């Protein structure tokens, strides 16, 4: 299917959200599986169901709340997506640009992304947190496929610092302060929804992967196209296929993800408190363009 989204399509979503919120957020947080409880850290949140937002996507994953929350963390204006969207839900890559472009029009310049992932690196263990330094995407597709919307970015764009080095440095300093051990590695994107085969995991390891998952890459590529800074984390919820001699289950992923949630929550709060704020236009509802 061919999509011809123009600038106004995304602006309609942003204008609705700004009307409800009354302020422009500085930082966006996108929560992956098992991390929904992080929304409890937002002061006096304004909650908007995805289904209420014009032109927005609807989550079909039953563990994702499907809500947008706007409020404050450590004095910073934030917007949090409790629930994200995936190719395996039936969305095309071109549709997966929608949330990030809307966040951009809200005023967001920094995006913090979390996910649940399987470990390829055998030095990792369930419950570890991996700071993503780069990714491998062999799916053969990009969310930027199709007509370029010039208001967001150039047709061809650099992604050599896709996972922003300055933000990664802040994350590591905050982790040290909290005595939170961080791994740092490469994320390999698979489309899912099935877990990977042992042969695919062996190939991913040979290519330099440390963890595998089914999200995040479409979001970070779209953010880079929009000129946004990005920080991303994987909670290691399981060892990938073939490393241990037993099948991977969703229950194991949930168990180990929940165990790391509090550490991830504390780290994100500390990071937000240490990100320099942007000078943002407070007019909010009057103009969807940042």
DSSP for 205-219 reads HHTT-SEEESSSHHH
For residue 67, the enclosing domain spans 7-276
Peptide bond into 193 cis (omega under 30): yes
- In this predicted model, what pLDDT tens digit does every residue of 64-118 receive, in sequence order? 578 999 999 999 999 999 989 999 999 999 999 999 999 999 999 999 999 999 9
76-82 and 67-73 beta bridge pairing: antiparallel
Residue 228 inside a domain? The answer is yes
Tokens 């990664």 locate to 168
User: What beta strand segments (E) does 35-85 contain?
Assistant: 43-49, 67-73, 76-82
All residues at 6 or more sequence positions from 253 whose CB lies less than 8 Å from its CB, including other chains = 33, 34, 116, 237, 238
Residue 290 inside a domain? The answer is no
Residue 166 inside a domain? The answer is yes
Alpha-carbon distance of 16 to 13, in angstroms, equals 5
Would you state the structure tokens that stand for residue 175, as one six-digit string? Answer: 């982790």
Q: How confident is the model at residue 282 (pLDDT cuts 50, 70, 90)?
A: very low
Judge whether residue 286 has pLDDT over 70: no
Number of compact structural domains in the chain:
1
What is the rounded average pLDDT of the residues 154-176?
97
Residue 289 inside a domain? The answer is no
Could you give phi then psi for residue 243, rounded to 5 degrees? -75, -45
What is the rounded average pLDDT of the residues 250-262?
70
CATH of residue 262's domain is: 3.40.50.1580
Residue 286 inside a domain? The answer is no
Judge whether residue 244 has pLDDT over 70: yes
Averaged confidence pLDDT in the chain: 89
What is the rounded average pLDDT of the residues 217-244?
95
Would you state the structure tokens that stand for residue 135, as one six-digit string? Answer: 């990714």
Residue 282 inside a domain? The answer is no
Residue 287 inside a domain? The answer is no
Residue 203 inside a domain? The answer is yes
Picking from 16-25, 62-71, 260-269, which range would have the lowest pLDDT averaged per residue?
62-71
């Amino acid at each position: 299917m061919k999509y011809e989204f123009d600038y106004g399509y995304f602006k309609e979503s942003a204008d609705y959200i700004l009307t409800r919120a009354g302020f422009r957020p500085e930082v966006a947080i996108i929560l992956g599986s098992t991390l929904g409880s992080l929304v409890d850290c937002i002061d006096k949140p304004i909650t908007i169901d995805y289904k209420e937002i014009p032109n927005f996507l609807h989550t079909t994953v039953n563990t994702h709340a499907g809500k947008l929350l706007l409020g404050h963390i450590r004095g910073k204006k934030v917007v949090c997506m409790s629930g994200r969207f995936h190719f395996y839900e039936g969305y095309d890559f071109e549709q997966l640009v929608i949330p990030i472009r809307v966040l951009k029009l809200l005023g967001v310049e920094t995006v913090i992304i979390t996910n649940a992932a399987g470990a390829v690196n055998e030095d990792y263990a369930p419950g570890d947190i991996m700071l993503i330094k780069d990714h491998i995407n062999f799916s053969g597709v990009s969310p930027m496929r199709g007509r370029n919307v010039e208001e967001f970015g150039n047709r061809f764009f650099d992604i050599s610092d896709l996972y922003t080095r300055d933000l990664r440095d802040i994350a590591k300093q905050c982790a040290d302060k909290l005595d939170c051990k961080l791994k740092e590695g490469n994320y390999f994107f698979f489309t899912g929804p099935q877990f990977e085969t042992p042969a695919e995991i062996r190939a991913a390891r040979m290519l330099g992967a440390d963890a595998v998952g089914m999200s995040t890459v479409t979001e970070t590529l779209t953010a880079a196209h929009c000129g946004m800074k990005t920080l991303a984390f994987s909670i290691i919820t399981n060892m990938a296929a073939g490393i241990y001699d037993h099948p991977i289950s969703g229950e194991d992923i949930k168990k180990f993800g929940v165990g790391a949630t509090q550490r991830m929550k504390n780290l994100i709060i500390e990071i937000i408190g240490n990100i320099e704020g942007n000078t943002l236009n407070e007019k909010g509802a009057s103009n969807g363009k940042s």
